[in-house]
Amino acid sequence: MDVFPEPSTLRVFVALAPPDDAKDELAEALRPAYTGYPRLRWNRIEDWHITLAFLGELPTTAVPLLQSVLAGRAVSHPAPELGLRGGGHFDERLLWSGIDGDLDGLHLLAADVRALVRSCGIEFRERPLRPHLTLARARRDDPTSVPQAAAGLAGFVGRPWRAERLHLVGSNIGRGPGPIRYRDIEAWPFGAAVGAGGAGTPAEP
């Protein structure tokens, strides 16, 4: 059996994720779009997330330091109350659902997370926070599907929910063919005691 070396770098971001029942509620609202716009490249429901800080390609040696500071941030922060609402698009190419609820708290959390990352000596491109949940991407020769699907979500209002965990996530962007896949490197409950040794909720292999 072939054995492949562990990569020396990893594409990383820090994010929140809606609970399963909130995602199921949105997926039900998207059912007509799934069948009506088959050319869109839909994200898997288990990959839906709200990015707080996109850190880009990092050395894998930076990950343990990030785990340490983010665990401390989660344990001291109350869980933000949010919701999913409506839909929109970026440049007719990327379909998203909007975020409702405590947006001031969400922006403060994102600013705090970004400051913690920089305190570790990790530099990344600073992008304004535009809270959203990415749902699908259009092919270059399909300029109409995303705006039409976004219009179909205009009346959607999901129930409120509290973000359960702060997630450190890795992705396979640029690592071969196929759809984008995400995996939790680690995730930590908000406002809960961190276990022995500073460990949070370990990611599945």
pLDDT tens string 62-104 = 999 999 999 998 989 889 999 999 999 999 999 999 999 999 9
Could you tell me the end-to-end alpha-carbon distance of the chain, in angstroms, rounded to an integer?
19
Q: What is the pLDDT of residue 121?
A: 93
Q: Flag whether pLDDT at 128 surpasses 70.
A: yes
| Whole-number Cα distances in Å, 97 to 9, 182, 192 | 30, 19, 29
Q: Which residues, 6+ apart, have CB-to-CB distance to 66 below 8 Å?
A: 12, 117, 120, 122, 168
Angle subtended by helix axes 103-119 and 63-75, to nearest 10: 140
Tokens 């304004």 belong to residue: 128
Q: Which domains does the chain have, with CATH numbers?
A: 9-202 (3.90.1140.10)
Q: Are 186 and 12 in contact (CB under 8 A)?
A: no
What's the pTM? 0.84
Q: How far apart are CA 15 and CA 145, in angstroms?
A: 27
pLDDT band for position 197 (50/70/90)?
very low
Q: Tell me: the pLDDT tens digits for 145-193?
A: 999 999 999 999 999 999 999 999 998 654 544 556 788 999 999 985 4
Q: Flag whether pLDDT at 44 surpasses 80.
A: yes
Strand order in the sheet with 182-189: 50-59, 9-16, 165-171, 182-189, 201-202
